[in-house]
Amino acid sequence: MKQKFLFIYYSLLFLCVAIVTLNSSKSYAQKIKVDAVVDSTGYRIGDWIVVHISIAHPYNTAIRWSQPDSLSENFQKLAETKIDTIKQNSFLTENRTLTITTFDTGALLIPSFNFFYEDENHKVNSVSSNALMVQISTVRVDTLKAFKGIKPNLIVTTEQKKNQSRLIFIIIGNIILISATAFYFFRRRKRNVIKATVIKVSASTTLEKLKQLEKENLQQTNAELYYVKLTLILREYIESKFDVAAFEYTTDKIILYLKEKIKEPNVLERLARDFQLADLVKFAKVNPSADENKNAMNTAMEFVTKTQTQEKDASNNAI
């Protein structure tokens, strides 16, 4: 009797835990909204079908966008755009456009798109969009009209050939004349251009700015502003010292360029990590730890110091 009672007790306990877990995962999934829409519901066979997908989710959720090239046995993926992110007050909206096609006809169902995501508890779950119905038709042919025969080759006389040759020479001559004139004025304008003065930022000035930023203690009160100022100081120094448009380059492009100029792989690896952390703080609202803030400042100072040392060594060798 006692064993039977314990069996019933543990069974009910397991059932309650399962219900709570299921409800918690469902409630979190309800925070993620996926919409899929098409521009039209009627297409011809082989047409490009544009599908607009939108996912709204909390900030602390990572969405995996990977989709197979073959959506189903009826549809093939042709292209996809980059993810466009829109920041809201309490959530993010990610948008992407897929271009698909099909060579089947009739009423076809575009299957739902499945997305995996990692929630705040680091558990991987999935969410799906709505399925879409489209009508695919063939090219209409009027069978009542008579078939048209193939026309014979067009006969061109000698005089017509001469006129065509003259026209071709006139067109080529005009193209050469216009190109030569444009080249002349371009060269003349280039000589009159006054070279803009580039304001150089020294390593010592950059180190002073970094020390001043550290004294402001923004890393404790406003991490986003702290990383904005830190990356601006570094980009200004990199653009001045290495003659590269650092304010226009992405983090990956800056690091790839620097690898060709300096031989400090360890410093560059940490610098790339801190630039990526800064992007996450500025755009994904990530809260960095105190150690990460301190390491980012130390890496920035070490990078400026070592590049300054390389510059001095190069000057001494030249002397």
Phi, psi of 215 (to 5 degrees): -70, -25
Residue after which a domain boundary falls, among 104, 137, 170: 137
CA end-to-end distance (rounded Å), the chain: 98
Beta strands 132-137 and 42-44: pairing type? parallel
Q: Classify residue 161: in a domain, yes or no.
A: no
Q: Assess whether 121 and 219 both reside in one domain.
A: no
Q: Classify residue 95: in a domain, yes or no.
A: yes
Q: What CATH number is given to the structural domain containing 51?
A: 2.60.40.740
Residue after which a domain boundary falls, among 137, 160, 175: 137
Q: Is the dihedral of CA 256, 262, 266, 267 positive or negative?
A: negative
Residue 193 is predicted with a pLDDT of 45
112 within 8 A of 36, measured Cβ to Cβ: yes
When the pLDDT of each residue in the chain is averaged and rounded to a whole number, the result is: 79
Convert the pLDDT of each residue in 217-248 to its tens digit: 888 889 889 989 999 998 888 888 888 888 88
Q: Classify residue 133: in a domain, yes or no.
A: yes
Residue after which a domain boundary falls, among 99, 114, 137: 137
Q: Assess whether 207 and 133 both reside in one domain.
A: no
**How many domains does the structure of the chain reveal?**
2
Q: Classify residue 17: in a domain, yes or no.
A: no
Q: Where are the alpha helices (DSSP H) in 217-288?
A: 218-221, 223-242, 251-261, 265-283
Other CB atoms within 10 Å distance of the CB of residue 310: 14
Q: Is the pLDDT of residue 88 over 50?
A: yes
Q: Classify residue 19: in a domain, yes or no.
A: no
Q: Assess whether 128 and 214 both reside in one domain.
A: no
Domain enclosing residue 132, as ranges: 31-137
Which of 2-11, 22-31, 52-61, 187-196 holds the top average pLDDT?
52-61
79 within 8 A of 133, measured Cβ to Cβ: no
Phi, psi of 65 (to 5 degrees): -95, -5
Q: Is the pLDDT of residue 6 over 70?
A: no
**Rounded Cα–Cα distance for residues 274 and 251 (Å):** 10
Q: Is the pLDDT of residue 22 over 50?
A: no
